[in-house]
Chain A
Amino acid sequence: MLLRSHIARHQLTWDSHCWLIYPPMTLAIFPLSNSSNALRMRSLQWKHWSATGATSITGTNTQTLKPLLPAYISTVDSGNLAAHLLTLRAGLLELPAKKILGAQLFNGLNDTLRILVDSADGFFPERSANPENGSTTERPRISMQFHSGYSHGMRGNAWTSWPHPPLR
């Protein structure tokens, strides 16, 4: 789920060789050698268990990348990681057919805008006084709309009132 959410949010980035960099786990997947399809992961030490042919995770010192003692093979973590990788594969294969700016982007913009409006509420006074003639002026309000171009599946598309900043 975490991987899929990050795929959806396009938080995966690629370096010039299109290797995968996965920021939340500082995970990097890249060819271990030209002669092998084996891959290596940083941070989570991905052990290639040559005797059994199995690939497993051990507890790892994140600074030195050396296995923590006593060394062990975590079958649970290995299985979890394998499942994550299968999920990652499925998510990656869906990307080319998805819009380059997905609906989730506009949902995020709407969420940020709503928080912004909420946090700004009260910052601008409802009324401003004119010191020259003593009159007061109602705070003008403007409306903002995000239209994503998506006809459905959008949580947003909301009209949001915005307190207009003081006129200068």
Chain B
Amino acid sequence: MIDILDALDANPDIEAKWWARAFARQCLAALDELMLLAPSTISGIEKIPTLRELAGLGNQLASERIVGIERLATQSGELAAHGL
């Protein structure tokens, strides 16, 4: 991808350059999320884990995120019930 971007650099106006950068950005964002949540398994990963699976393996960040999600779900339900 870097080679492709280098090649496109010769013509800064080409639309493909914008899309190439968008594509690279998407890949890096996914990689960041994977490394953040599952850094120990990043090298030998065979399947993409769920948050619950990661929490079961003792991943503290995954556990905290689940707690946060459940709290938000509770808040959403309470607020909806209040509005109704």
Interface residues of A (CB under 8 A from B): 10, 14, 18-20, 29, 31, 37-39, 53-56, 78-79, 81-83, 85-86, 88-89, 92-93, 95-101, 105, 108-109, 112-113, 115-116, 119-120, 123-124, 148-149, 162, 165-166
Q: Measured between alpha carbons, how far is A115 from B75 in the docked complex, in Å?
A: 40
A101 touches B75 (CB 8 A): no
Question: Which one of B34, B51, B79 contacts A96 once the chains associate, using CB atoms below 8 Å?
Answer: B51
Count of B interface residues, CB-CB < 8 Å: 49
List, in ascending order, chain B residues with CB within 8 A of A31's CB: 75
Interface residues of B (CB under 8 A from A): 3-4, 6-8, 11, 14-16, 19-20, 22-23, 26-27, 30, 33-34, 37-38, 46-52, 54-55, 64-80, 82-84
Looking at chain B's contact residues, the main secondary structure is: helix
List, in ascending order, chain A residues with CB within 8 A of B67's CB: 18
A123 touches B11 (CB 8 A): yes
A38, chain B: closest CB distance, angstroms: 7
List, in ascending order, chain B residues with CB within 8 A of A38's CB: 82
B76 touches A88 (CB 8 A): yes
Given A108-B26, A109-B26, A116-B16: A29 and B83 interface contact (C-beta under 8 Å): no
A61, chain B: closest CB distance, angstroms: 21
Q: Measured between alpha carbons, how far is A109 from B7 in the docked complex, in Å?
A: 21
List, in ascending order, chain B residues with CB within 8 A of A39's CB: 75, 78-79
B19 touches A116 (CB 8 A): yes
Given A100-B38, A165-B7: A86 and B48 interface contact (C-beta under 8 Å): no
List, in ascending order, chain A residues with CB within 8 A of B11's CB: 123
